[in-house]
Every structure is written in C-alpha cells, then in structure tokens.
Amino acid sequence: MPSLSLLLTRTITALALSITMVFLAATPGSADVVSENIDYTGDGKSLGYLAYPEDAHNAPGIILIHEWWGLNDQIRRTADRYAEEGFVALAVDLYGGRSTIINDEARELAGEVRDNSQAAFTNLNKAIAYMASFTDDKVDEERIASVGWCFGGGWSYQMARNNLGTTASVIYYGFFNPQDDLSQMRAKIIAHFGEDDRAISLDTVETFQARLDTLNGEHEVYIYPNSGHAFANNQGDRYNEDAAEQAWERTLEFLRKHL
C-alpha cells in the first residue's frame, strides 16, 4: 500500500494538472489570452463572451454579433482569435442565453429579435458601454468596432447606420437596405459577400457599394467568387477556406488602419 506521503504527492500533482488543464481550456490558442463569460447587460440573461490579451491597455475593442444560430462555440473561438491579434473582443448574445443548430428554431429566434428591435439596440448599447468602461483602461473607448455574420452582419450594419459609437463596422453577408438614410453614419464599413449567395443578390451589393462611394470615409466592399452565404463559418457546409482567410486578412488590415 502506498505511503501517506506518496498519496499526498499524487493528489497534489493531480490537482495541479487539473488546474493547468482548466487554465489551458480557458485560454485557447494563446497563453496570453484571458477569456470569461460576463453579464454585460446586467439582466443575468444575456451572458457575453469576453476575450482579451492579458496585458491589454488602451487596446481597440470589437463587438462580435453572432449568426442566427446564437452565441455558440464557433463565435467564441473567433473572439479568441481576435484577442490573439491584440483586440479586446466581446461576443454579445441577442437571444437571452438561447442558441440552436436547427434552421426553424434559428428563424424563430431571429424573428423575435426583428419584432423587438429596440431590445436589441439596448443590448448593443450596453455592450458598447461595457467596453468603454472596461476595468484598468484595457479598452480605448474611441476605438471600438463591430463585426457580424449574416443575422449579426445586419446588426453590425445597424450599429454603423444608427451611430451607436463604433469607429468601424465589419459586415459578413449581412442584410441591409441600400436606400436607407445614412446621414447619421460615422463608422467606416468593410463588407464581405459571396458571389453565389442566394439570399443577397449581387445587384443589391453593387448598389450598396455605389451608395457607400458617395459618402465620406473609406469604405470597402468585396465579393468572393465561388462562395455562397456563410462562407466564413468553418463549422458549416458552405465554408470556403480561401475566401474566409482572405476576408479575415482584409478585415484585420482594415481594423488596424481605422482603429
């Protein structure tokens, strides 16, 4: 039978290993990244996912807005990826803690937000306020952007259109109305669309691009060949790695330039 001291040593070693594994799981991709779930709205329902460099100080901030599936692990991993690039990334939750992998349920959840858009605006305003007041001056409140995909891309556009306080807006195949009043918009926009997207026509994208060209500021619109809707979601069957990585590099360059 092992001695008491040996058993104690094994227990301490196992505990240390367990703690190490928890730490590594909480900081995927980089030991310098800190991540946590936060109640940025104060209602106890919409818990966001915050990821940031451990040594962040006056860093640019990014509000990430999920697809119609809700805040899931794919969006959390994207927040981690932005944190590894030096950004403080807050992935918001517009579904009050719900998410799904079923189309009909996603459509219903997105419809609930559409029918109560003021609640979504309140949620996003609270996300901006949280980032602006983030402890120890980790975020520069003058350098905050939004990034969204599909459903979230539309809301990233709305944050820019309604001047919610972002400096830049990244739109991945998000919905918009090229006839919208953009007189309040101050954010610079970069938008990514798939050539084969059956939900958003190329004619509409080109009209949107022409409209942006009439506005002040540097705006960029890209159309990716052989790509459809959701081409940047590496968990979906429409993922196009070449297009996704090109959009990622263009987005990083855009954000570093304008933030």
- Report pLDDT digits (tens) over 129-163: 999 888 778 999 999 999 999 999 999 999 999 99
What average pLDDT does this structure show over 217-240?
95
115 and 1 fall within a common domain? no
135 and 191 fall within a common domain? yes
The confidence score (pLDDT) of residue 212 equals 94
Confidence check: pLDDT of 28 > 70: no
The confidence score (pLDDT) of residue 105 equals 98
- Per cent of the chain over pLDDT 70 is 88
The confidence score (pLDDT) of residue 29 equals 43
Residues in the chain: 259
Query: At 156, phi and psi to the nearest 5?
Result: -65, -40
47 and 19 fall within a common domain? no
Domain span at 22: 1-27
CATH assignment of the domain containing 197: 3.40.50.1820
Confidence check: pLDDT of 258 > 80: yes
Q: What whole-number distance in Å separates Cα of residue 42 and Cα of residue 65?
A: 18
**What does each C-alpha distance from 211 to 165, 176, 188 come to in angstroms?**
21, 12, 13
What average pLDDT does this structure show over 27-47?
81
Binning pLDDT at 50, 70 and 90, where does residue 122 land? very high
5 and 42 fall within a common domain? no
Q: What whole-number distance in Å separates Cα of residue 34 and Cα of residue 14?
A: 23
21 and 122 fall within a common domain? no
Confidence check: pLDDT of 39 > 60: yes
Confidence check: pLDDT of 81 > 60: yes
Binning pLDDT at 50, 70 and 90, where does residue 82 land? very high
Torsion angle, CA of 69/73/77/79, rounded to 10 degrees?
Answer: 60
Please name which of 154, 82, 101 lies closest in space to residue 124, comparing C-alpha atoms: 154
162 and 247 fall within a common domain? yes
